[in-house]
Chain A
Amino acid sequence: MAVTEENPGYKWVGTRPIRPDGLEKVTGKARFGADLVLPGMLYGKVVRSPHAHARILSIDTSAAESMEGVKAVITGDDFPDLAANGAHPSDVDVANNTIARDKVLYEGHVVAAVAAITREQAEAAAKAVEVTYEVLPHVLTVDEAMADDAPLLHEGMITKGVDPAPEEPSNIASKILHERGDLEQGFGEADAVVEREFTTKPVHQGYIEPHAAVADSNSDGRANIWCSSQGHFQMRAYTATVLGVSPGTLKVTAAEIGGGFGGKTVIYLEPLAVRPSQRAGRPVKLVMDRDEVFRATGPTSGTRIKVKMGVSKDGKITAAEVWMAYEAGAFAGSPVGAAGMTAIACYDIPNFVVEGYDVVCNKPRVAAYRAPGAPMAAFAVESVLDELARNIEMYAIDIRLANAAVEGTQAAYGPKFPRIGFVETLEAIKDHPNYTTELGPNQGRGVAAGFWFNAGMMSSATVHVNENGTATVVTGSPDIGGSRQSMALMAAEELGIPYESIKPVVADTETVGFNDVTGGSRVTLATGAAVVDACRLIVEDLRARAAKTWDVELDQVEWVDGQAQHVEGAQPPLSLNDLAAKSGRTGGPISANASLNSRGVGAGFSTQLCDVEVDPETGVTRIVRYLTAQDAGRAISPDYVEGQMQGGVVQGIGWALNEEYIHDTEGVMENPSFLDYRMPVASDLPMIDCSIVEVPNPAHPYGVRGVGEVGIVPPMAAVGNAIHDAVNVRMTELPMSPVKVLEALNAHDE
């Protein structure tokens, strides 16, 4: 492990105990989204559009309603018309994506839902809902959608970010632009210039647990919802918007979540379970099957990206020009904004233009996917940088070191970086034995780097000291990858009691203050800071109680190793256990709340080194070894920091080599199963070597930066650069499947 700052003697932070929720998860007891069963519960089933783009002429639910066991059938008309009510356009989009009103905009778009006594009855009833469509022409890619005569998804869509605003509507939702310096002058100073165009396909987050929700509505309009999500407060807000009710009427409880990677920050099922539950007066459970998950949730954008960059002989980047178009799917909101801000953020570049377009098309609405938008841009920029390094005969790591952003560098998107650890990740790669391991025949080595902001946002925590001196730490951040452990480790460190004495809890929307989603790599940073704040309030309270007990001034009491000590040793120490036992006589229960809007995120950087072997006969690329170096700021829970690093890399390897949405000419997805949408399996991979770099974030009490996302940014370019090193072909399309590599090899030979 590369540690760049001394660990200041923490007892719990940085250790590797067993996670608090582990036992339930290895014994089958943990209850995930689909595991809840309530008395009298009905099973729901959703009816989806078979067309990529069509007008709904009529929906006849009468046959379905008369079927045995059917208790409710709903359509878009059963929800408020938010557009007619003047709601915010983004809320209208959420509602229209949940259930279509006038038009369906992608294959899989919801048009109706049913609830029946048995699963089989619900499935039969869903098939009996008769929908009449007028099929409309569709567009599937950014090129089709941006064409002059393209059919429009939204007749009123005027491109934002263009001055003056266009008079005609189009499928371009918005334009972004970042520029600095003089591009022409910059390219004039270059000794080598490379220009390339890249395309990537939509890919799915691929969480193993399909979306699931159970709703139980009361006759007074209130409802309880249990669902698997990355943020039950967000689910409450979205569901209230779609239903047209106050958020306070809904109580949402977070089930254990079986993966999300951004794809469970949005709603799909919750309102479609609540409404039939209201109609039937019984709980309703809705669970997607895998086919529905692929056709109607996620994915992230397919893209087309052009990059032109120039460097001087000494390796300094003199200019960069980036043009990018990102598919948004059916509604505005691709991650092109983040892509534009991250594309060249690793480097200090004097002259650049970054231009991007958010483009709607007849595919499912994209959802966040781990560092949304950044990986595709990094694939393009890091591939071009690799080529430039070769052109001026410089090592791939060294050209990155020559241009690396450091503290004080003005990021391409505006602000100056505070202390960051990008250079340290580059050096960690150079220092690792993998960097100098000898390669075999048809093997190659590639380097790539990535940046992600990391989010802060809002969190709340409550800490209760129990009567025996143990503590319960309550937050509202669903634990998707071990965050209960990091909460417990920080609380143990603050309170000075054993990790095992802390019980971390993820509470429902009525039991703890507001928490934003588990996303943006923010939970250990922001919710962790709220836990630290609450623990410090507890310690202040405990010191005051000890002072009162001893009849001394507060400044005579310090908190050391879980006990109140008199600074001069004039009193025997009072442990947390002693103080908890006496709480009734010293002011009542010991409890504290803290809420915050995060005080400062810490930017995340990752550099990765990939060795591949390419079979020139088949075009198959095998990952031989892989190293990832990432700045965690402080690894509160090193096991789960490594887990995030390894998981991000392997998702990226899947994106690089296998994964893609394939649509037929009618806009119907052709590979909506794990058999045909092939994610990496254990036999595809080597171990993933990790080098945790720790350059503390000055804005967090323990230096945490957030580690969840940046690991997926470099892999596609790292793999592509390694393929180039192995067989001397430059891959510009994802996935770099055997067919495409073989085509490139054959073209190269001709």
Chain B
Amino acid sequence: MPRTHITTVINGDETEFLTEDGTSLLNALRDEVGLTGAKEGCGTGDCGACSILVDDRVTCSCLMFAPEADGTTILTVEGLADSGDLHPLQQCFLEGAALQCGICTPGFLMAAKALLDKNPDPTETEIRYALAGNLCRCTGYDKIIRAVQEAALEMRGK
């Protein structure tokens, strides 16, 4: 089957890969690029475990065809820390025990980053609605919401 050549910037690095037209961006990232941080929980855009930022917009990578990524700038959870320094969201998730099994965590971190980039001082309700596309079955969301509140506070203080 013919494969399409895709050029993107992923986590700051120019990245090229080959993909079939019907392949999801999620599968291309995981199988072709080797970035397995984004997870498939449903494949239908309902759980948010595959959330990444495409041109700064939070996106379910399972719902996007890989060829659509050509020319875009992508951030995945692997690119969230800055040369080893954790993003405040990552640090607050750790300190606040905002993960149990951890499978949904990459998606929550990316969705929360998209929120805080646009709205540095969200209310609890705004956080809950911004993260309503991400399913977590372990935590009941309590500690996740608190971690995002903490990170927002810390980021505003900088």
User: Smallest distance from the beta carbon of A518 to chain B beta carbons, Å?
Assistant: 11
User: What CA separation (Å) do A680 and B131 show in the bound complex?
Assistant: 12
Task: Tell me whether B74 is interfacial, beta carbon within 8 Å.
Answer: no
B41, A646: Cβ atoms closer than 8 Å = no
Q: What is the interface size of chain A, counting residues whose CB is below 8 A from a CB of the partner?
A: 59
Given A30-B102, A34-B40, is A16 in contact with B97 using a C-beta cutoff of 8 Å?
yes
Interface CB pairs A-B, < 8 A, 18: A25-B102, A27-B81, A29-B37, A35-B30, A35-B36, A207-B103, A209-B41, A209-B103, A259-B138, A290-B42, A481-B138, A640-B97, A643-B100, A650-B140, A674-B42, A681-B132, A682-B127, A687-B146
Inter-chain contacts of A646 with B (CB < 8 A): 139-140, 142-143
A35 to B46, CA, bound (A): 20
Chain A residues, CB < 8 A from B77: 26-28
Q: A26-B99, A481-B101 are in contact. Are A19 and B94 (CB under 8 A)?
A: yes
Complex formed: what's the CA distance from A675 to B46 in Å?
6
| A289 CA to B62 CA, complexed, in Å | 12
B13 on interface, CB distance cutoff 8 Å: no
How close is B24's CB to chain A, nearest CB, in angstroms? 11
With A19-B94, A646-B143: A258-B103 Cβ-Cβ less than 8 Å: yes
Closest residue of chain A to B125 (Cβ to Cβ) is: A683
Cβ of B153 to closest chain A Cβ, rounded Å: 17
Tell me the complex Cα distance, A18–B37, Å: 20
Residue A447 lies at the interface, judged by CB distance under 8 Å to chain B = no
A25 touches B44 (CB 8 A): no
For residue A290, which residues in chain B have a CB less than 8 angstroms away from its CB? 41-44, 46-47
Report if A647 contacts B (CB, 8 A): yes
Given A290-B42, A481-B138, 10 further pairs, Cβ under 8 A: A21-B102, A22-B94, A28-B77, A34-B36, A34-B40, A208-B101, A208-B103, A208-B137, A643-B143, A646-B140
A23 lies within 8 A of chain B by Cβ = yes
- Looking across the interface, which residue of chain A has its beta carbon closest to that of B107? A208
* Chain B nearest CB, measured from A46 CB (Å): 15
Nearest residue (CB) in B for A485 is B97
A-B complex: 8 closest residue pairs judged by Cβ atoms: A28-B37, A258-B103, A650-B140, A25-B102, A639-B97, A674-B46, A646-B140, A28-B77
B: interface residue count bin? 35 or more
Given contacts A643-B100, A688-B140, contact A28 B128 (CB under 8 A): no
B1-32 interface bits toward A, Cβ cutoff 8 Å, 1 = contact, 0 = none: 10000000000000000001010000100110
Give A22-49 interface residues, CB cut-off 8 Å to B: 22-23, 25-32, 34-35, 37
Beyond A682-B145, A683-B129, whether A22 also contacts B46 by CB under 8 A is no
- Would you call A270 an interface residue if the criterion is a C-beta within 8 Å of the partner chain's C-beta atoms? no
With a cutoff of 8 Å between Cβ atoms, the chain A residues found around residue B135 in the complex are: 208, 674, 679, 681
What 0/1 readout, one digit per residue, does chain B (67-91) give for beta carbons within 8 Å of chain A?
A: 0000000001110110000100010
- Could you say which residues of chain B place their CB within 8 Å of the CB of A688? 140, 142
Residues from chain B with a CB closer than 8 A to the CB of A242 are none
Q: How far is the CA of A26 from the CA of B46 in the complex (A)?
A: 21
Query: What are the residues of chain B within 8 A of A23 when measuring CB–CB?
Result: 86, 94
Q: Mask for A205-230, Cβ within 8 A of B = 1, else 0?
A: 11111100000000000000000000
Q: Is the CB of B138 within 8 A of A683?
A: no
Tell me whether A640 and B134 are in contact (CB under 8 A).
Answer: no
Is A673 at the interface (CB under 8 A from chain B)? yes
Contact check, A682 vs B39: say whether CB atoms are below 8 A apart: no
Complex-state Cα separation, A688 to B86, whole angstroms: 28
A712 to chain B, nearest CB (A): 11
Closest to B146 in A: A687
Q: Distance (Å) between the CB of A604 and the closest chain B CB?
A: 18
- A26-B94, A643-B97 are known contacts. Are A207 and B137 too (CB-CB below 8 A)? yes
Q: Once the chains bind, are B131 and A210 in contact (CB under 8 Å)?
A: no
How close is A42's CB to chain B, nearest CB, in angstroms?
13
Contacts of A289 in B (CB 8 A): 40, 42-43
A27 and B80 contact, CB distance less than 8 A:
yes
With beta carbons under 8 angstroms apart, the residue of B41, B90, B137 that contacts A647 is B137
- Nearest residue, chain B, Cβ from A679: B135
Residue contact B47 to A682, C-beta cutoff 8 Å: no
Residues of A within 8 A of B27 (CB): 119
Give which listed residue, A21, A640, A679, contacts B137 with CB less than 8 A: A679
Give complex CA distance A35, B104 in Å: 14
Checking A119, A481, A639, A673 against B46 with a beta-carbon cut-off of 8 angstroms, the contacting residue is: A673
Given the interface contacts A481-B100, A482-B100, does A209 sit within 8 Å of B39 by beta carbon?
yes
A295 to chain B, nearest CB (A): 14
| A interface footprint on B32-75 (CB within 8 Å = 1, 0 otherwise) | 00011111111110110100000000000000000000000000
* A-side contacts of B131, CB under 8 Å: 681-683
Given A26-B94, A28-B106, A209-B41, A649 and B140 contact (CB-CB distance below 8 Å): yes
